[in-house]
Copies of this chain bind each other. A is one copy, B any other.
Amino acid sequence: MSMTPAEVREYARQHDMITTAGHAPGFMQANLLAVPQEYAFDFLLFAQRNPKPCPIVGVLEAGQYSSELLPGGDIRTDIPGYRVFENGELVAEPADAREYYNDDIVSFLIGCSFTFETALQDAGIKLPHIEQGKNVAMYKTNRACKPAGVFSGPMVVSMRPIPEDRVVDAVRIASRYPSVHGAPVHIGDPASLGIADLSMPDFGEAVDIPDNHVPVFWACGVTPQAAVMDSKPGLAITHAPGKMLVTDIKDSEYLIP
């Protein structure tokens, strides 16, 4: 029996979760990047120039903590886990971000590939990380994002093993969600993205690749965290990878016909 998005947010206020993947299926999940106003333009421009890894699905202005994406919610508490970066260094991983927020901070919500996972599963494509009870595996690549202001960094991808005979279907289905990463950026050899070892992800957990499965790579909303690590803004607050904001927006709103 699945929870509503509001119930997942309520649960996340009280509990840690390995990942929000698979919870409140059919509702969009979002990545968080929050920065002081002095960095807000540069980051929004970074996202605008790199829409595939950084599709903006909502922005909470300085001092705003709720919106139609999380009615009655609070962006500072409704994610299961946060990461706090000072000058690009990870300094804390709190379950509640209120002590790090102040009314000068702008929160960017970025589309997440979990959005099309439901559609893949509905088409009978099993997702090994969900089957294995793991967070998705994420990797920094050798592809640079277009810089904007102070922000630059590599594109981060998420990897899902897909059965060989369903790869075409996975591409076709994910392509229908262009505003939440959409089509994969690469199929097959990880080396061509500069990934040396699939068993050593930069974020999330290594996922076993079953026989007759091909690794398929999608642009990932953790890309802003890599940009924060490279670009070292004074302060940045993000979700912990795999622990997303579960929104009230249906995945189908991001579907193109």
Q: How far is the CB of A106 from chain B (nearest CB, A)?
A: 8
A71 interface residue per 8 A CB criterion: no
Q: Which residues of A contact B (CB under 8 A)?
A: 37, 40-41, 44-45, 48-49, 56, 59, 61, 106, 148-149
State whether B41 touches A48 (Cβ < 8 A). no
Q: How far is the CB of A38 from chain B (nearest CB, A)?
A: 9
Which residue of the partner chain B has the closest CB to A47? B48
A56's partner among B40, B48, B106, B149 (CB-CB below 8 A) is: B48
Complex: how many Å from CA A49 to CA B45?
14
Complex interface: chain B residues within 8 A of A40 (CB): 41
Besides the known contacts A44-B48, A45-B59, A48-B56, 12 further A-B residue pairs in the complex with CB atoms under 8 A apart: A37-B41, A40-B41, A41-B41, A41-B44, A41-B106, A44-B44, A44-B45, A45-B61, A48-B48, A48-B59, A49-B59, A59-B148
Complex: how many Å from CA A149 to CA B106?
11
Q: How far is the CB of A12 from chain B (nearest CB, A)?
A: 26
A-B contacts, 17 of them at CB < 8 A, read: A37-B41, A40-B41, A41-B41, A41-B44, A41-B106, A44-B44, A44-B45, A44-B48, A45-B59, A45-B61, A48-B48, A48-B56, A48-B59, A49-B59, A59-B148, A61-B148, A61-B149
Q: How far is the CB of A5 from chain B (nearest CB, A)?
A: 21
Q: How far is the CB of A235 from chain B (nearest CB, A)?
A: 16
Interface centre among A41, A56, A106 (most CB of B within 10 A): A41
Complex interface: chain B residues within 8 A of A56 (CB): 48
Which residue of the partner chain B has the closest CB to A43? B41
Complex: how many Å from CA A44 to CA B106?
14
